[in-house]
Structures are given as C-alpha cells and as structure tokens.
Amino acid sequence: MEIIYTDKDGNTVKFTEEMAIAAITERDELRVSLSDSQDRSTRYYGKLITVREHVFEFFNSRYDSSSDEIECNVDEVNELLGNISAEQLKKLWTVTGTINFTVTNIPASNDDEASDYVMNELSVDVSGDADLDDWTVDISDTEQQ
C-alpha cells in the first residue's frame, strides 16, 4: 500500500492510497454540491427580484401621492399573489349537489334488506378543511341481479 506525504503549514500528513481516494472523492462531491447551491441561490435571487418588482408595481399603480390610503380589492390582491407564486386569499363557499350511485352484489333476502344495507353502510367523506354539514340518501330503485 502506497503512502502519500503532504506538507501543510509545516506539518507532515500521511495518507494511505484509500484515504487519498476518499478525500478526493469527498472534495469532488462537495464541489458539485457547492455548484448546485450556487445555482439554486442564483435562481432564488432572480425570483426575489421578480417578486419585488411585482409588489412595487402593484402598489405603485394604485398609489396617489395626495392620499395616505391605497385601494384594492381581493381579486386584485389574488392576482398579485398568483403572479408571485404565493397562496391566494380564500373565500368560504357552499356547494350543493347530487351524487348518483349504484351498489352491486349486496347479499340480502329481499329488496328492503338490500335498501337498509345501503342506508346503513353508504358514507360520504370530505377531506381537508371543509365540513360536510348535511347529506341524504334517496334510493330510487332496487332490483334483483
């Protein structure tokens, strides 16, 4: 096994061949990581400049030097937020609709038992922050397969 000697700041350091290969590999990986970080930093700085320009233009176009107030509406603010890739302001909505369904392969001795099965086992779920306030099931037809 070959040993490499290196003088640094007056000190002698001994490396085995494996240690030298590992150090060079780590150095190369760090160079790639640094380059990637510099690229991301440049992109983010460009985005920051674009966001600053959008925000300034938004307020400057609504600015009147004779007034202490700037007027805008929610749709205009949401347009700005969309332009800078930010989350837009939300309003609360109520949606009413109809769900048509067909449940097959219900083991039951008669149509009432099949209907009861659906009434007891069918469920509706809404994920996220929305609330399901009311829902009803209206069975329009029951037939044997």
Domain count, the chain: 1
Q: State the Cα–Cα distance between residues 87 and 85, nearest whole angstrom.
A: 7
Share of the chain above pLDDT 70, in %: 95
Q: Structural domain of residue 36, as residue ranges? A: 3-83
**Residue 135 in contact with residue 114, Cβ under 8 Å?**
no
Q: Looking at the domain assignment, is residue 63 inside a domain?
A: yes
* Coil, strand or helix at 126: coil
Q: Looking at the domain assignment, is residue 125 inside a domain?
A: no
The pLDDT of residue 6 is: 66
Q: Looking at the domain assignment, is residue 79 inside a domain?
A: yes
The pLDDT of residue 140 is: 87
The pTM assigned to this predicted structure is 0.54
| Mean pLDDT within 63-79 | 94
The pLDDT of residue 87 is: 96
On the question of pLDDT at 19 being above 90, the answer is no
Instruction: List, for residues 74-99, the tens digit of each pLDDT value.
Output: 999 999 999 999 999 999 989 888 88
Q: Looking at the domain assignment, is residue 78 inside a domain?
A: yes
What tokens were used for 118? 């659906």
DSSP code of residue 16:
E
* Rg of the chain (C-alpha set): 34
